[in-house]
Chain A
Amino acid sequence: MTFTWWCSALDEPWSWAWQAYPGVWVVVALLAGGYVWAARRAPDREPLTMRHLGPFGLGMLALWAVLDWPVGPLGAGYLASVHTAQYLVLALVVPGLLLAGTPPWMLRRVLGSGRRLRVVRVCTRPILAFAFFNVVMAGTHIPAVVDALKVSQLGSFAIDLCWFLAGFAFWLPVMAPLPELDPPRLPGRIVFALANVFLPTVPASFLTFAEYPIYAVYELAPRVTALSAVEDQQIAGLTMKIGGGIIIFTTASALFFRWYRAHSAEESTALQVPSTSS
């Protein structure tokens, strides 16, 4: 049995025999362990509830599922469609769930109050966060980059890490978990979320409409399913476009309704003020 620490493209036929990826377990264990360690030091008046534990647990489960066998190696070296599904989950699902599961006091402890906080505050300014998220998204879908990095464990790990970090760059301005990070107001957060829909359309379109496979790593891999390399690539493009669109539009809609409710409440308060004073 081949023993590897991270999933990468292998020059061998796909096998349904289980493979161990200890690097994935270490990452998942460190994140989960850190959370439990921090939770045990929760302030008495702010114990963790299912409101936090649920999303965090789901986020960890999703992280583990997309990195470990079989999804991890399938996406790393066999199917472009699984590769883009991994991208969606790692960048647009997991960071959001982990942030939703992290109470503000815990996040403050993680970020501290010094240089780390200042760096995160700068990096999550909408313009920089937009640039970072989209540069990572576009860069990690360039054929030369994918073909060069996916064949090594370190390269494959680098792509996964970039997606994960870019996901935080997207979700921190959207979710605005801490006021000290100077997040934009709700309308700004809606615009920021929607702005991130457009650039992923470019690689998604290339994947969907290319006449020939664009990634050598998936084209030359032994086939896992009856799908041809081009069909697999088309599914990848549609997954990226439709899946990403659904997540971002749902998020923007949720923010819009929150802003609408807040706006309506403000208006009704404003209307009540004269009647109580007269």
Chain B
Amino acid sequence: MDGAVSRARALAIVLVALWACGPGTPRPGDLRGVALAAPWAKPDFVLTDTDGAAFDFRAATAGTVTMLFFGFTECPDICPVQLANLAAALDKQPGEVARAVRVVFVTTDPERDTPERVRSWLNGFSRDFVGLVGPIDSVNAIQQRIGLAPAVRIPLEDDDYTIGHAAQIVAYTADERAHVVYPSGVRQDDWAHDLPLLVRGQWGARP
């Protein structure tokens, strides 16, 4: 009798485990981005877009897969490579995937990055990318609220400066949370793998 109970318990555990790993169960480890230990809530903030209009991030991106990235247009390496790789991968996605992804770029260098400059720079990657500007204190507060390090101004020679900033692209899914981030070094092939899963909400699905 005891043996039958034990077998029934074992079977129940296996079934629960199979169910937990079954289709549709989010398991960020299946994605090629870096899985977060606990999901990050989508932040609620309003900044100005490159047309000069107010952009309510949470409302405007509700129910979509949204890639949020903080950087600056004079960034010589990480920002252009990150955005170029994301843009190239999106460009090769089927329409339903590409249309379902919004990319929002927030400048961490509002002193030099005017809305026109941000627009012109983003157009080099995609005209669909949203560019946002706002006071650096507000931008840093948003970053800290999300869980990212705030941007830091680093003086260079001849009164010039550069900006140290978080290099991750934060991926918010339709559940209004981020389960995964994409640090510097993510490749186009990685994006091509993850984007459809993020859009279809199938990340974590067993084949």
Contacts and interface: CB of A to CB of B under 8 A. Distances in A.
B187 A13 contact: no
A229 B91 CA distance: 14
A211 B92 contact: yes
Interface in A211-244: 211-213, 216, 219-223, 228-230
Contacts, number: 43
Contact of B188 (A12, A13, A219, A222): A219
Contact of A13 (B76, B88, B89, B189): B76
A223 B185 contact: no
A222 B77 contact: yes
A254 B20 CA distance: 69
Interface residues of A, number: 15
Contacts of A11: 77
Contact of B81 (A211, A212, A223): A223
A212 B84 contact: no
B61 interface: no
A211 B189 CA distance: 9
Interface residues of B, number: 15
B11 to A, nearest CB: 44
A11 B184 CA distance: 12
A211 B188 CA distance: 9
B88 A228 contact: yes
B141 interface: no
Contacts of A212: 88-89, 92, 187-189, 192
A213 B189 CA distance: 8
A229 B88 CA distance: 9
B204 interface: no
What is the interface of chain B mostly: helix, strand, loop, or mixed? helix
Given A13-B76, A211-B92, A228-B88, A220 B81 contact: yes
B107 interface: no
A213 B188 CA distance: 7
Nearest to A219: B187
A15 B186 CA distance: 23
B88 A222 contact: no
Contacts of A229: 84-85, 88, 188
Interface string B191-203: 0100000000000
Interface in A9-66: 11-13
Interface string B75-117: 0110011001100110010000000000000000000000000
Contacts of B188: 212-213, 219, 229-230
Contacts of B81: 219-223
Contacts of B76: 13, 222
24 contacts: A12-B77, A13-B77, A212-B88, A212-B89, A212-B187, A212-B188, A212-B189, A212-B192, A213-B187, A213-B189, A216-B185, A216-B187, A220-B184, A222-B76, A222-B77, A222-B80, A222-B81, A223-B84, A228-B84, A228-B88, A229-B88, A229-B188, A230-B88, A230-B188
In the complex, the 10 A-B pairs of residues with the closest C-beta atoms, listed nearest first? A13-B76, A222-B77, A212-B188, A212-B189, A13-B77, A219-B187, A220-B81, A222-B76, A220-B185, A216-B187
Interface of B: 76-77, 80-81, 84-85, 88-89, 92, 184-185, 187-189, 192
Given A212-B88, A220-B85, A222-B76, 12 more contacts: A11-B77, A13-B77, A212-B89, A212-B187, A213-B187, A213-B188, A219-B187, A220-B184, A222-B80, A228-B84, A229-B85, A230-B88
